[in-house]
Amino acid sequence: MIIGGSASQKLAANVAEELEDCLCSIETKKFPDGERYIRIKGKIDKEAVIVQSTGYPQDENLIELLFLIQNLKDLGCEKIKVVIPYFGYGRQEKRFKEGEAISAKIVANLIEKSGADEILSINLHEDSVREFFTIPTKNISAMGAIAEYIDNITEEPIIIAPDKGALSFAEEIAKILDCRCTYMNKVRLGPDKVETKIADIRCDFDPDDPELKDLKKNEEKKVDIQSVEGKEAVIIDDIIATGGTIVNAIGILKEHGAKSVNVCCVHPLLVNDAILKIYAAGAKSIAGTNSLKSEVSCISIAKVIADALK
């Protein structure tokens, strides 16, 4: 029995199709005063899977998820697997400044206390978020699906991580596609301001070279800095929010003569005019997964989720 919350209805339907499981319908609405209403229609199975991302509007989607979980438990469901393709509040996984709420921990507590038995998420911003749960929690990678997409739109790509945090994604894709990857240095100056430098660009990273496997060793080795000139660059990041990170990266790649720059991400948050800014900076295309609904969510993670649930 698969249930899709408002944020992930189509994805839930696709997961149900992959698993050849039945898709349960729900009624969800807002009362005139803004409060949420949830009703699960049909017979309740002993086991259920809920699919619900908690992106914008985060609080509403989260409340809906909590209502779904606890309602299912109250109605006799014994085991509930909760798939949260995009885990909202996941970026505040620690107290960066004194007195801050550790939002990711609070959200994890709420979900677990509501009655979830297992959690599955896709490319959590920080894997450490799993530690806030005491129930089994999987953090699945969408890089296989993204690599397949990149393979279809490029001949000989070079995968670019716009910051060090995204390097593991670039490496994962480079390994699948047997191509090169590199990263840039980024410093965040504020929620919507980042500074990016090309200082450490590493274009001749061979993912199969055992000596270069470990990033630290690789940095010590200071591999030759090569140009991206004439190359089909593909930027990969977990999240595109304001687009600032990607705009900076495109600028540097264009400056260094990249033939084209395609942009991929797992979670297309795309705040305000992010899409426009990225195209205006010179992107050939922007693609994200359907962990969140958006104009660019063309890479399906239904199979990735279904395989993890099997």
Interface residues toward ligand R5P, by CB under 6 A: 163, 165-166, 194, 237-245
For ligand R5P, give the closer residue by CB, 1 or 159: 159
For ligand R5P, give the closer residue by CB, 72 or 167: 167
DSSP string for residues in 241-308 = SSSHHHHHHHHHHHHTT-SEEEEEEEEE---TTHHHHHHHTT-SEEEEETTS--TTEEE--HHHHHHH
For ligand R5P, give the closer residue by CB, 64 or 237: 237
For ligand R5P, give the closer residue by CB, 24 or 194: 194
Cα–Cα distance measured from residue 9 to residue 51, given in angstroms and rounded to the nearest whole number: 8
Q: Which residues of 119-156 are buried (b: 16+ CB within 10 A; e: fewer)?
A: bbbbbbbbeebbebbeeebebbbbbebbbebbeeebee
Q: Of the listed 73, 81, 186, 231, which one is catalytic?
A: 186
Q: Least CB distance from residue 245 to ligand R5P, whole Å?
A: 3
Q: Least CB distance from residue 58 to ligand R5P, whole Å?
A: 15
Cα–Cα distance measured from residue 161 to residue 158, given in angstroms and rounded to the nearest whole number: 10
Tokens representing 179?
A: 């191509």
| Tokens 């359907």 -> residue | 290
Q: Least CB distance from residue 242 to ligand R5P, whole Å?
A: 3
Q: Least CB distance from residue 195 to ligand R5P, whole Å?
A: 11
Q: Least CB distance from residue 237 to ligand R5P, whole Å?
A: 5
Answer for the pair 240, 123: CB distance below 8 angstroms, yes or no. no
Active-site residue flag, 217: no
Answer for the pair 101, 65: CB distance below 8 angstroms, yes or no. no
For ligand R5P, give the closer residue by CB, 240 or 281: 240
User: Which is nearest to 47 in space by CA: 117, 122, 139?
Assistant: 117
Instruction: Give the type of residue at 274.
Output: A
The DSSP bridge pattern shows strands 180-183 and 185-190 to be unpaired
* Residues marked as catalytic: 186
